[in-house]
Amino acid sequence: SQQGEEDPQALSIQEGENATMNCSYKTSINNLQWYRQNSGRGLVHLILIRSNEREKHSGRLRVTLDTSKKSSSLLITASRAADTASYFCATVIPGAGSYQLTFGKGTKLSVIP
């Protein structure tokens, strides 16, 4: 079953603009991660934020986490055409016994040159 739900499902922006994607989840988590997938190929890990963190930065990426609302957002600043991809949030649930990632359905981002 899907733990996370990304919003919007699709997003189209001009190069240079910022892109914001949101993720909501249902149960308590150990951490939340964002991954990128180009054209149905392998996923690339972008950033991990732990349940006791509120904000994290990595280059042009900024992730926030609100555990009271069970939600996270991914902001990509100054977008480039190469950022065109699907973005997934994934959660790790405490006590699952394994590092099982539970993914949402993703947000498809198109950056128009």
Q: How many chain residues bind another protein (CB under 8 A)? A: 27
Q: Does 95 bind another protein (CB under 8 A)?
A: no
Looking at beta carbons only, is 2 or 27 nearer to another protein? Answer: 2
* Shortest CB 47 distance to another protein, Å: 10
CA angle 43, 30, 54 (to 5 degrees): 90
* Shortest CB 84 distance to another protein, Å: 17
Q: 32, 49 in Cβ contact below 8 A? A: yes
Long-range interactions of 66-71: CB distance < 8 A, separation 24+: 67/28, 67/29, 69/24, 70/24, 70/25, 70/26, 71/22, 71/23, 71/24, 71/25
Looking at beta carbons only, is 15 or 22 nearer to another protein? Answer: 22
Looking at beta carbons only, is 79 or 86 nearer to another protein? Answer: 86
Q: Does 113 bind another protein (CB under 8 A)?
A: no
Residue where the block lists tokens 């069970």: 70
Q: Does 65 bind another protein (CB under 8 A)?
A: no
